[in-house]
């Protein structure tokens, strides 16, 4: 039961962060692209890369892991929303925007997971290449 409370607490914080990122990402940009979802997914990819390394290095407790990964990052990243928005762009005939959303989210997402992990390894004084090993 306590684990569910940790997930709920992390989830509420992640959702608030997602909302804040969404507002910031749309500021001054045209509303013709899902900027907020893209920002949330890319930030989440960076965070999960770095925090995954730290969780392994410092043996995070199960409670802390579910708080961070299931709750916090789980509610921050929005893969289902990303998928729906990409599909809607395609259905609206905005093929380039839909394909760009898929490509940018996936390619930059993978890159940012690796960068986040590399940053964490660097901070730990570990060889950055260790993440790929």
d(CA 132, CA 53): 12
Q: To 5 degrees, how large is the angle CA 110–CA 132–CA 99? A: 15
Beta carbons within 8 Å of 119's beta carbon, 6+ residues apart: 50
User: Is position 74 annotated in a ligand binding site?
Assistant: yes
The CA-based dihedral angle spanning residues 87, 12, 7, 108, taken in that order and rounded to the nearest 10 degrees: 40
Binding positions are 74, 77
Binding positions for Na(+) are 74, 77
């Amino acid at each position: 039961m306590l684990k569910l409370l940790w997930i709920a607490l992390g989830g509420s914080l992640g959702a608030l962060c997602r909302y804040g990122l969404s507002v910031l990402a749309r500021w001054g940009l045209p509303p013709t692209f899902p900027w907020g979802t893209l920002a949330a997914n890319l930030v989440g990819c960076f965070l999960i890369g770095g925090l995954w390394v730290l969780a392994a290095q410092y043996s995070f407790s199960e409670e802390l892991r579910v708080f961070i990964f299931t709750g916090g990052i789980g509610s921050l990243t929005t893969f289902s929303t990303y998928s729906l928005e990409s599909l809607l762009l395609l259905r609206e005939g905005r093929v380039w925007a839909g394909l760009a959303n898929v490509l940018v989210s996936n390619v930059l997402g993978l890159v940012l997971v690796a960068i986040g992990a590399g940053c964490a390894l660097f901070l730990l004084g570990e060889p950055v290449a260790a993440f790929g090993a």
